[in-house]
């Protein structure tokens, strides 16, 4: 086999198998760092062996066996080795054979191996871990991103990200966070926590919280990939389906959201021919099968709202009354001021601008929205639609210094000029 072909096979195996190999190794050794090092070595070994021996039929099984053997070698040399080896032995870790035909029935235990990945997801997303650490460790452990890649995605120095990962892993061990799929009474709450981490990851990619680049597609792709994996691992969980549908429906608009020169384009002004129809169809189908289960949760509702936009052939065809109704349902499940703000937009777009503005006015007193630029930006948009240009200009000018990214600030400046205001006093212009 040629080297590029083998490299491609190893790359593919890495994308597919890294999380599985690592997840199984962590269960058997209980040592995250050891598991990570040995998994890494197994992939290096594949690069060396596969050109000579050929790519094995079940690359994942081969990699897990090699990584497992490395772990045994290291444990033999280590101080706590005997104790851990005894545990590993009870789990029937294969001894020294990388010939997959000679391997014990271990790898027929597909369920157990799949459960390992779920264990890994739930452990990485444990609510006692720092939130930024949950996201980073999920990307490192399940998606197989390197520390440098994660650091780039979050615009922090690599050393900072390395520290964040180490600290998160240290807490898992030191605080006694169990490596398991949570028991039934904890499962709904913890599943919501996992979905929140995936959606946070997606949003971080979809709308960069700082800096000039609005869409960091890498993070969106990883979040969707993990969302697919989770949906397969938890096929009966409608909210997992809803989250994946929601991410796909948002992702389908990525080429239409930002213009060639980096300007933010609102949903209303987007060229809908540029929406990814394959992703929309997949998202709509997922949403439909989720809703069939009749356990509606916040992610399904948000996906249903995104679906209303996806189905509309033009902005004018949008079913705003339906969206306003969905936001009302969502506000009941998720009593957040941001949800109510979105409902205000839907109510206004459904024809009642005054009612929309009244909701915005109510929200002005909410301390949680004091530094939230979309409150003023929404008020400005509604006032502009009502034809009240001077009041709209005042609101746009107030939103401008609060907007977190340059792309959003440019959008606000453009609107401000349209309604006859001047952005001269705002910072960053």
Partner 1 sequence: MNYLLFIWADGMPAPEELAVMQRELPGWHEEFKRRGVQLFGRELDLPETAATVRVRDGETLLTDGPFAETKEFVAGFNLLECADLDEAIEVAAKCPISQFQPLEIRPFSDGLRLSEQVSAFAHEDDSAGTPYLLTLWIGGTPAAPIDDQAAIDAGQVWRQDLVERGLHVLGSALGGRDAATTVRVRDGQTLLSDGPFTKIEAFIAGIEVVSCADRQQAIQLAATHPIARDHAIEVRPFYRE
Strand, helix or coil at 256?
helix
Binding partner 1 (rule: CB under 8 A), the pick from 74, 152, 171, 255 is: 171
CA distance 26 to 33: 9
Give the range of 35-43, 104-112, 174-182, 214-222 binding partner 1 by CB under 8 A: 174-182
Q: Is 176 in the site for partner 1 (CB under 8 A)?
A: yes
**Which of 133/283 has CB closer to partner 1?**
133
**Which of 68/133 has CB closer to partner 1?**
133
**Which of 83/354 has CB closer to partner 1?**
83
**Which of 178/351 has CB closer to partner 1?**
178
Give the range of 177-185, 222-230, 358-366, 405-413 binding partner 1 by CB under 8 A: 177-185
Q: Would you list the DSSP string of 77-146?
A: HSTTHHHHHHHHHHTT---S---GGGS-GGGG-HHHHHHHHHHHHHHHT-TTS-HHHHHHHHHHHTS---
Do residues 69 and 19 make contact, with C-beta atoms less than 8 angstroms apart?
A: no
**Which of 128/267 has CB closer to partner 1?**
128
Q: Least distance (Å) from partner 1 to the CB of residue 173?
A: 9
Q: Is 186 in the site for partner 1 (CB under 8 A)?
A: yes
CA distance 115 to 333: 30
Q: Least distance (Å) from partner 1 to the CB of residue 128?
A: 4
H helices of 215-261, in order, are 217-233, 238-251, 254-257
Q: Least distance (Å) from partner 1 to the CB of residue 236?
A: 22
DSSP bridge partners of 258: 264
**Which of 196/245 has CB closer to partner 1?**
196
Two structure tokens written together for 157: 């120095």
Contact string (CB under 8 A) for partner 1, positions 115-154, x = contact = -----------xxxxxx-x---------------------
Judged by CB under 8 A, the number of residues near partner 1 is 18
Two structure tokens written together for 215: 């869409």
Q: Is 175 in the site for partner 1 (CB under 8 A)?
A: yes
Eight-class DSSP state of 328: H
Binding partner 1 (rule: CB under 8 A), the pick from 53, 86, 189, 317 is: 189
Strand, helix or coil at 178?
coil
Look-up of token digits 């054979």: 97
Q: Least distance (Å) from partner 1 to the CB of residue 122?
A: 10
**Which of 3/170 has CB closer to partner 1?**
170
Vertex 314 angle, CA 311 and 316, to 5°: 110
Q: Least distance (Å) from partner 1 to the CB of residue 39?
A: 24
Rg from Cα positions in the chain: 25
Strand, helix or coil at 264?
strand
Binding site for partner 1 (CB under 8 A): 126-131, 133, 167, 170-171, 174-178, 182, 186, 189
């Amino acid at each position: 086999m040629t080297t590029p072909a083998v490299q491609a096979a190893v790359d593919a195996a890495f994308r597919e198998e890294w999380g599985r190999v690592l997840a199984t190794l962590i269960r058997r050794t209980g040592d995250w760092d050891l598991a990570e090092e040995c998994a890494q070595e197994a992939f290096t070994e594949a690069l060396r062996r596969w050109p000579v021996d050929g790519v094995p039929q079940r690359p994942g099984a081969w990699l897990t066996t090699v990584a497992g053997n490395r772990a045994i070698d290291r444990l033999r040399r280590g101080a706590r080795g005997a104790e851990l080896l005894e545990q590993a032995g009870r789990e029937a870790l294969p001894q020294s054979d990388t010939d997959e035909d000679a391997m014990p029935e271990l790898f027929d235990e597909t369920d157990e191996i799949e459960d390992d990945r779920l264990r890994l997801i739930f452990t990485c997303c444990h609510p006692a871990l720092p939130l930024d650490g949950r996201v980073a460790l999920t990307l490192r452990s399940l998606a197989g991103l390197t520390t440098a890649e994660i650091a780039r995605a979050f615009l922090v120095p690599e050393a900072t990200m390395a520290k964040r990962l180490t600290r998160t892993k240290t807490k898992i061990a030191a605080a006694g966070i169990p490596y398991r799929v949570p028991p039934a009474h904890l499962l709904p709450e913890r599943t919501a926590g996992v979905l929140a981490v995936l959606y946070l990851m997606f949003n971080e990619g979809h709308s960069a919280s700082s800096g000039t680049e609005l869409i960091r597609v890498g993070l969106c792709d990883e979040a969707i990939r993990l969302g697919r994996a989770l949906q397969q691992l938890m096929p009966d969980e409608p909210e997992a389906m809803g989250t994946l549908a929601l991410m796909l429906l948002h992702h389908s608009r990525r080429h239409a959201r930002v213009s060639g020169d980096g300007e933010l384009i609102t949903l209303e002004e987007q060229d809908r021919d540029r929406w990814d129809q394959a992703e929309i169809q997949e998202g709509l189908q997922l949403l439909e099968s989720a809703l069939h289960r009749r356990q509606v949760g916040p992610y399904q509702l948000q996906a249903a709202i995104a679906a209303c936009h996806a189905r509309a052939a033009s902005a004018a065809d949008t079913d705003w009354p339906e969206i306003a109704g969905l936001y009302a349902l969502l506000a009941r499940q998720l009593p957040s001021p941001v949800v109510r703000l979105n409902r205000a937009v839907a109510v206004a777009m459904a024809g009642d601008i005054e009612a929309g503005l009244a909701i915005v006015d109510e929200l002005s007193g909410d301390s949680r929205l004091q530094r939230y630029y979309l409150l003023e930006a929404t008020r400005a948009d509604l006032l502009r639609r009502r034809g009240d240009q001077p009041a709209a200009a005042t609101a746009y000018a107030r939103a401008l210094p609060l907007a977190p990214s340059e792309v959003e600030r440019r959008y606000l400046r453009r609107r401000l000029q349209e309604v006859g205001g001047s952005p001269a006093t705002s910072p960053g212009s």
